[in-house]
Structure 1
Amino acid sequence: MSTKNGKTGNVYLIPSTLGDMEPLEVLPISIKQTIEQLDYYIVENEKTARHFIKKISPRKSQPSLKLSVLNKFTEAQEIPTFLNPCFEGFDVGILSEAGCPGIADPGAAVVKIAHEKNIQVIPLVGPSSILLALMASGMNGQNFAFNGYLPIDNTER
């Protein structure tokens, strides 16, 4: 495939807020700058992703956004196609529903494929509920294991 300017695009891992806080109060300005440069996104939920992007960058053209949905209903064979814009020279952002993409998040599947295809993956700084819980626990952070979140359903929990 030919690429724009002969370069393969990058994949940016874009964190989002945890809870109902204003994104620019807790996320670094680099998140805003990255969102303003990207038109291609891989998201868990289109509606909430558009809302988050609009909060970060109110003047960003919503019709120009090209969103691929990655959730439990996404077919496995569809996931590699989400990276096609990279081979056309465009950068792609993976936007987590809450917290950091790839950390207990379906974005990990895309990151794995990006590495296999020699696409540069650039993680951006943001909140991770797992790390925030570890930080606040008082436990030794030198050695811990995350075995998944508790089930949402009370009977399963």
Structure 2
Amino acid sequence: MPGTLYLIPNTLGATDPSADALSHIIPAQVQALTARLDYFVAENAKTARGFLKLIAIVHPLGKPLQEIDIAELNVNTPASALAGLLAPLLAGRDAGLVSEAGVPAVADPGADLVRLAHQHGIKVRPLVGPSSLLLAVMASGLNGQSFAF
């Protein structure tokens, strides 16, 4: 049975390491789920490790950070490499897809991985968190019913 691909929101650049600050940005349930994963696909491995270090302040990681697998998926990743990124999921391993900031797969190279995951029958679960696009629409005063992206 394939694993689940979790779409994990990242902070929008916040680096305050306090538990209180992080809980205002990323819900506790999302933090806990993120902490138990040991395979991630991220735009940048260094940024993803920084995000996991923030999570680890509140929720101990299931493995030492050095043992967590982080594969990169960015604008330079060839389409032919996507299947390899899904191989652990097809083998039954859960994974987290993390963007540089905000939610993954929206105006983000992760969208291609999500599409391929669906084609392979992999369950995709989006998790709630900050979205710069949604926040901008909310703060703009525009009618969200007629907004197009």
Query: What corresponds to 2:128 in structure 1?
Result: 125
**Residue 12 of structure 1 pairs with residue 6 of structure 2:** yes
Q: Give the SS at the match of 1:142.
A: helix
- The answer to whether 1:109 aligns with 2:112 is yes
Runs of 4+ in 1 over 3 A off after TM superposition: none
Q: TM-score, normalised by structure 1?
A: 0.85
**2:97 match: secondary structure:** strand
Q: CA RMSD in A?
A: 1.2
C-alpha distance after superposition, 1:41-78 (max 9, x if no partner): 00011111001101111442112211110112211100
* Match in the other structure for 1:144: 147
The structure whose RCO (Cα within 8 Å, separation 6+) is larger is: 2
> For this pair of structures, how many residues does the alignment match?
140
Alignment match, 1:30: 29
2:69 pairs with one of 66, 74, 82: 66
| 1:85 to 2:88 alignment | yes
Cα deviation code 1:75-96 (max 9, x no counterpart):
1100121111112111010011
1:8 counterpart letter in structure 2: P
Supply the distance in 2 between the matched residues of 1:38 and 1:27 (Cα, whole angstroms): 16
| Matched residue type, 2:91 | E
Report the structure, 1 or 2, having the larger helix content: 2
TM-score by length of 2: 0.89
User: Percent of aligned positions with the same letter in both sequences?
Assistant: 46
Structure with bigger gyration radius: 1
Unaligned segments of structure 1, at least 5 residues: 1-6, 147-157
Choose the corresponding residue for 2:102, options 90, 99, 104: 99
- 1:19 counterpart SS class: coil
Match of 2:42 in 1: 43
Gaps of 5+ in 2: 17-21
Q: Give the aligned partner of residue 155 of structure 1.
A: none
